Each structure stands twice: as structure tokens, then as C-alpha cells.
Structure 1
Amino acid sequence: MHNAYLQYKANPEDLSPILEQYSNSLLENALKLSTSLDKSRIFPVIKDKSYILQISLMAKAKYENKGMPFLYKKLNEVLYLVFALDTQNSMRFLNENDLIKLELKQTELLPLSIENLKREFAGLSVQGDPSSLSMLVADGNYEASFFVVDSLWDKKIFPVKGDIVVHMPSRDTVLITGSEDLDGLKRVSGIISKNTNNLAYPITNIGFIRINGAWELYKPK
């Protein structure tokens, strides 16, 4: 959508063909079948509700009653999880036929994808001050995916004031601060406001707070 937005800014009179091109691109990406199946290359990918709804509507319009072209898991009211099969040459999202060929159960996807993610990005780093405001750095594609890696979200790693609060405005931007860190929260808000229209692969501007080992929607005081 970011690329479509840039095209629209350059040629605002061409909105309809731009949206048509974007819609076709999304479905083609979701339905690619040429990627070789390799369990070790399955990774979790965070998407928001609007993305899932958009794909659902487009798939229904184009392929009638075939349903969603890929598997997904609802995380909360805002976020969903899809599973990418990412190889050296291409990337697509897993579907039900893939599970059959891989002899995998859907319940096995999340733990498998998390282990793959941790192995592939063992060099994940934290930039900034983990006790105040920091961000994750992986490869520019999978930073937000670490949202589902429970072992990462520990106060020993992020000794922030209050509970850990995470914002993921895009797939490569994960900002971490504390629920009682007013300065950190203000800076996060400023970063998001300043860059909303410039972030590629946006997710959501809504924050999430870590309470009792689980994520909840963050509601600013």
C-alpha cells in the first residue's frame, strides 16, 4: 500500500488503476504456488485487521466462494498472524494445501515459525536505551514478527518504568518504552506522527502493553 500511496501522490488523477494494480498484486502474492516447500523457511508475519479484511473482500470478489487464499491466526482485536514461506528467490503466505504437503497441523505453525525466526535472526539487536526508549533491529522485514516471541518481552531485557509498551507502526519499526515513562511515550507518539505517511508496509499505530505475560491493547492515560 505504501508503494500505491506514492504512486497516487505522483499521479492523483490515476487513483482507480493504481488501486486495481495494488489489489491484483496482493492476490498474486498470496496465491503464488511456485515457492518450494521448506519447513525451516516458515516465519510469522504480523498484519492488521484491515489487511485481512481487504484480502478477504478481494478474494471473494475475484474467486467467489473459495475463501481466504492463505492461513491466518487472530491475535487480538487489531492484529493477525500469517505465515510466510520465505526462500532466497520468493516469498508467499502458507495455505491449507501447503500444510497437507508438509504434513503439518495448523497448531504446529506458530511454534515452528517462532523457532525458525529465532534461529534465522539470532543476531537480533536492540538499539537505544532498553530502560527508556529502544527499537528492534533484525533485517528490515521481520522486526514486528518478534511480537510473538514471548521470551523476548522480559523486564530483565527491557527494564522500563512500568509495564512494557510496544508500538509497531510498520513491519520494520518496533518501538519499546514503559507505561510509566511519560517522556518515552511522548517520543514514541512523536515518531509515529512524524512518519505515518512515510512508513513502508504499515501495521498499526495502536500500542500494546505486556501484562502478566500477555499482550493487551494499550490505552493511553
Structure 2
Amino acid sequence: MYQIFISLIVASTLWLVSCQTNQNHLSEKEFTQRYKDSLMQREPDANYEIQEDLKIKVSEGKHDMTIYLDNAYRAYTLQPDSLASIFSDYLNSSISSLTKTELINKNSIVPVIKPFKYIEDVKSLDHGNTSLDSLIYYEPYNDELIIVYAEDTELNIRYLQKHIIDSLNIGLDTLRDFAFNNLRKILPDVEIINSGGKFGILAGGVYEASLILSKTMWNKENFSIDGDIVIAMPTRDMVYVTGSKNKQEINKLKSLALKDFENENYQVSPFLFRYNGSAFERFRD
């Protein structure tokens, strides 16, 4: 049995979408049932079992998986009026995860930045029934952040366990560089936007936070700032940059990071980080 820790969003047919329009906010129980109904309509040959709110066990042929809908439900609560577009965007991802085999394209493995809390969330979702290595592999990045590894496909992002990484004959000591090189090949050109003392980074809208792993990007040639490079990355696709001596922009970034972290999905951190010449560490002024 393999378990998928993907930010799966509920998917359904137009009938399910129309039923939700202008009605009361879905509870976790209702949300889970709608998700199960959606999958059953698209993949009727699979077996589905709601184990608890926001947790569904799915079996099809030799494949078993557990779908956790915590991030999905959060996305819905943040934008309840966008349920139709959420359904449309993520249905294929869900079905792809259900029918996927264990075969991994090693050249599609990319690094993903997560908060340390993500590990506790993974453990709690499994209720401590499985060893962490069997659930997901991670590396500490600093005191606040970790790196997990995922296979990026056209339809979804699948987070990997250690035994899968081991089977690919990629040394753990070279995994970070290997995955980041893969990422740079699939990302569009990185765009740096100057906004008068603060910069924004655009790189496709999914992996911006992973750019902290770059060994060549973080310098004064790319960012004309006052002091050391300081960044905020409240979510996976939001990265802001300013200088450590620019107190006005630092204060703005603190507020912006907290606001976006609390109100957006795919959270990374509400804190700021300073570049020390080789990595980012928690910024404390």
C-alpha cells in the first residue's frame, strides 16, 4: 500500500458543482462525501471507504492508497465560491494518483520546501501507525524548514518515500543538487520584479519557494538591496525580497508574510529569512 500526500482538491461532475452553488458551507463530513462521490463517478471500478472526515481509502486492482483532504478542505474554505474551478483543476490529479504505478521518472524528481510542521501533520494523519520513513522522506533545511522530494508530472505532484528514492540509485548526499537541477529544467525563466525596495519572484506559480536552493541566484547583481538579502515566502508560490537594512520594507514584509500565510493555501512560513552566503536562516532583528 502506498500513501499519497498531495494537496488533492475535491473533484466532481457539474451536478455536484451545481448542488453546492448558493448553499451552506460544506462541513468536513459533507466535503469528504462529495469527494468520494466524485471519484466513484469517474472511477466506478475502484473501492472507496471513508475512514474518517477528510480521509478516504481507495483500492483499485493491486493499488491501494489513502487520500488526505486536509489541504483540499482548506483551499475550499479560503475560496468557497470557486468550487467549480477547484473541481476542474484537480480531478485529473486525483484520478492520476489512483491509477499510477510505482514506476518513477528520476528526472522528474524535484525539491519542495515545507515547514517542519508538515512532518507532524503527516504523522498525525497516519495516527502514528506507520514509520515516518515509510510515509515520506525529508531533509532539514534550517530550524523552520524542510525539503521533501516529489515526482512532478503533468497531472500531479507525488511526494516520495525513502525506499522509492533508494530504488532509483540516487545518493542521498547528492539528491538535493540532483533534484534542483531537474527543477531548473522544468521551470520557466525566473522573473525578478523590482518594486522600489522590494522584489518579487515569478517562476511558474508552484516552485518559487524551492528557489532558495539555488547556489547562483542570491547575490547583489540580481537584487540591488541595502544590507543582506532577506526574503519572505509565506506560500510555495510567493517569494519577496528586500535588504536587511531597509527597515521600512522589512516591517512591510513581516506583515505581508503573516497575512499571506494565514489566508492562502500551500503555506510555507510566516517568518522572514536572511541569506548567510550559503543558505537562508531565520531572520531576527
Match of 2:223 in 1: 158
Question: Helix, strand or coil for the counterpart of 2:173?
Answer: helix
8 Å contact kept, 2:201–2:208: yes
Could you tell me which amino acid in structure 2 is paired with residue 54 of structure 1?
A: D
The alpha-carbon deviation at position 204 of structure 1 amounts to 0.8
Match of 1:20 in 2: 53
Matched, 1:170 2:235: yes
Matched, 1:90 2:156: yes
The alpha-carbon deviation at position 69 of structure 1 amounts to 0.9
Of residues 122, 127, 152, the one that matches 1:55 is 122
Match of 1:117 in 2: 183
- Number of aligned positions between the proteins: 212
Question: Helix, strand or coil for the counterpart of 2:121?
Answer: helix
8 Å contact kept, 1:165–1:178: yes
Identity %: 23
Could you tell me which amino acid in structure 2 is paired with residue 46 of structure 1?
A: I
CA distance in 2, matches of 1:99, 1:80: 17
Runs of 4+ in structure 1 over 6 Å off: 1-4, 16-19
Worse overlay, 64-73 or 171-180: 64-73
8 Å contact kept, 1:165–1:210: yes
1:23-68 CA-to-partner distances (Å, cap 9, x unmatched) read 9634999x9763641121111100001111110232353x344644
CA distance in 1, matches of 2:138, 2:69: 15
1:99-126 CA-to-partner distances (Å, cap 9, x unmatched) read 2331222222101011111222251111
Of residues 138, 141, 144, the one that matches 1:78 is 144
CA distance in 2, matches of 1:151, 1:123: 14
8 Å contact kept, 1:164–1:210: yes
Could you tell me which amino acid in structure 2 is paired with residue 25 of structure 1?
A: I
Structure with the larger RCO, 1 or 2 (CA within 8 Å, 6+ apart): 1
CA distance in 2, matches of 1:100, 1:193: 37
Match of 2:18 in 1: none
The TM-score normalised by the length of structure 1 is 0.82
Alignment of 1:1-221 (within 5 A): 10-11=25-26, 14=27, 20-21=53-54, 25-26=67-68, 34=101, 36-61=103-128, 63-65=129-131, 67-129=133-195, 132-220=197-285
The alpha-carbon deviation at position 97 of structure 1 amounts to 2.5
CA distance in 1, matches of 2:69, 2:142: 24
CA distance in 2, matches of 1:66, 1:124: 34
Question: Tell me, which stretches of 5 or more residues in structure 1 are unaligned?
Answer: none
Change in CA separation of 1:27 and 1:74 when aligned onto 2, cut-off 3 Å = farther
Could you tell me which amino acid in structure 2 is paired with residue 42 of structure 1?
A: I
The TM-score normalised by the length of structure 2 is 0.65
8 Å contact kept, 1:60–1:67: no
Question: Tell me, which stretches of 5 or more residues in structure 2 are unaligned?
Answer: 1-6, 11-23, 32-51, 57-65, 71-93
8 Å contact kept, 2:9–2:69: no
Question: Helix, strand or coil for the counterpart of 2:211?
Answer: helix
Question: Helix, strand or coil for the counterpart of 2:257?
Answer: helix
The alpha-carbon deviation at position 16 of structure 1 amounts to 7.0
Worse overlay, 175-184 or 98-107: 98-107
